[in-house]
Structure 1
């Protein structure tokens, strides 16, 4: 079996220096198009494969990004992961994914483990436990070690870094207002993620929409889900004693769960109660009736976050010009609501 061709051999064959060949293969703007074309043709002819391990050791880079998410079962986070991996592979990066399971302790341990030389930076959505604990030292410590941190979806102002979010406040405001405009007079908000930044923003948008409608008969009601079995009992009791004609849910599962409880009490959706939830997943499309949803564009968000992280990693100074990028949502009308788009 012949010996694999090296960068040095490729340089000899092309009559260019090793540095020129290396830059040509990397599409460096310093190299002319004609030289790049010649080098790449030779590389393809001789099946040249760059020694990424040697390159990474030389640059002291792993070309790996650590990703920490709160919940792998949530369709939104699964979509974000697809987007992260897609963009990472495009740029020659790998990802290592950890699941915090909404635990502050697990989030801290994951960062400590990966920060020991396994990754070049982190893409993280903050867990409920961390938000409640209000201790972000594990994130600032990673940044202090020259490991860039990018927060997505669930963020905090306590950490100065790049962030990628959706327009949570505006999305919640618009969905609530559309239900009111369609004739709803008693819209409630249901949330299993009250102890997160996105949960807070969605409640704020809901409150603002009710405030702006200037109808004295409409009052805000927030129902918090901590345990779905207990919520079932409390929600049934609530609708037995209170009239509702609209529900805005902070995520997909809570929206469909609430819709089933509403139907179970003999109410019709959307004739009696309009229901809208965040996240457009498989459950939303296949519920009965299909759920009107706020599509958070998880794949796009993952791609944007990863692109931003790689841009950050390629800078000599990790600590300048931090940016917060907002990905706009799309309201998708299905059978669970009587709204007009």
Structure 2
């Protein structure tokens, strides 16, 4: 018999059990004895029975889909988070639908409208730079008011009450800056393309706190990247006219870019200038020299985000909570001992 013709009702008739018993046996319900389960499962395998997932989801009033919105896919951190999300979602019996806002408020709004229109049971989101700049959060608050569970991660909006998963960006940046200072750096630069976001702000605050606390700092400089071509010109000019011996970048790409510009001017990393960046990705491992980085443990964050969201979908959670994950500094050859 063709598996397209096999239904739960026909399987019940063949096995001489009720539809309810067959359904429970196939889902390993403890109410059904092991011999009965084995008999029904063997019969289902014989006839290539495939459960009607759509019908099951309709009955449970669930899509078994989780929506994910990230600012970009090129950043290694978000790629690792997606790996964790997909792994745990699959384990929990969910599929993921991923949208990329490309740092755009408008794209983020359209993605939320599409996903929240009955396509998903819950949403995991990292807020775009455009939304932080615009400071308009109605598109997110509206779906929460409609009852859709939402988990914010990494870049979060404090005013919107949801479960949140973040790293301690302030502490991580403070510790990384202190590492540069302890290696005798006295003229430091902070490089960031995400200055308008929650994480960018906290990382800058951590950098500034470490600078203010240290007694041997002679100068510090902030480089905000809106355009990498302009940054390259400004940073090269700064390197040629000022003494700089340490760089902290708020993301991996900026750290690699800064290091390449330093080396391009004939300076040595770390002998002349030490460099640290956030996110431990492929670029960091394979740069020359390998980059010292703050590991944000993206995959673990993704796993936790799904677990919290599924608990919220199943209404197993009550009070909203913010989970702060630890980071670790991976020391490589871009910093002095």
Shared fold (TM-score, shorter chain, > 0.5): yes
The equivalent residue for 1:326 is 324
**Alignment of structure 1 residues 203-214 onto 2, 5 Å:** 203-213=204-214
Partner of 1:251: 251
Alignment of 1:166 onto 2:189: no
Structure 1: which 5+ residue stretches go unaligned? none
Q: 5+ residue gaps in structure 2?
A: none
Provide the residue aligned with 2:286 in structure 1: 286
- Shift in Å, 1:217: 3.6
Partners of 1:76 and 1:279 within 8 A in 2: yes
TM-score, normalised relative to structure 2: 0.91
Contact 1:104 1:128 in 2 (8 A): yes
Other structure's SS at 2:156 match: coil
Alignment length, in residue pairs? 333
**Cα offset for 1:218?**
3.6
Instruction: Check conservation: 2:252, 2:277, Cα contact below 8 A.
Output: yes
2:334 to 321, 324, 336: 336
The equivalent of 1:182 in structure 2 is 183
Alignment of 1:115-264 (within 5 A): 115-213=116-214, 215=215, 217-264=217-264
Give the SS at the match of 1:280: coil
1:1-40 matches, cutoff 5 A = 1=1, 6-8=7-9, 18-19=19-20, 22-23=23-24, 25-26=26-27, 31=30, 35=33, 38-39=36-37
Distance 1:21 1:305 in 2: 34
Deviations 1:76-104 (A, max 9, x none): 11111111111111111111111111000
Q: Is the 8 A contact 1:103 1:127 kept in 2?
A: yes
Whether the 8 Å contact between 2:122 and 2:313 is mirrored in structure 1 is yes
Partner of 2:268: 268
Please give the residue correspondences for 1:40-59 in structure 2 after superposition, counting only pairs within 5 Å.
42-47=40-45, 48-59=49-60
Paired with 2:25 and 2:187, the residues of 1 have a C-alpha distance of: 64
The answer on whether the counterparts of 1:136 and 1:158 sit within 8 Å (CA) in structure 2 is: no
User: How many Å separate the matches in 1 of 2:228 and 2:35?
Assistant: 61
Contact 1:14 1:39 in 2 (8 A): no
In structure 2, C-alpha distance between the alignment counterparts of 1:40 and 1:158, rounded to whole Å: 53
TM-score (norm 1): 0.90
Cα offsets for 1:52-78 (capped at 9, x unmatched):
110111122111111111111111111
Q: 1:217 to 1:174 in 2, by over 3 A?
A: closer
Out of 107-116 and 216-225, give the one that drifted further.
216-225
Match of 1:100 in 2: 101
1:82–1:40 Cα change, 3 Å: farther
Q: Is the 8 A contact 1:290 1:334 kept in 2?
A: yes
User: What is the CA-CA distance between 1:279 and the residue it aligns to?
Assistant: 0.9
SS at match of 2:33: helix
Cα drift, residue 14 of structure 1: 7.4
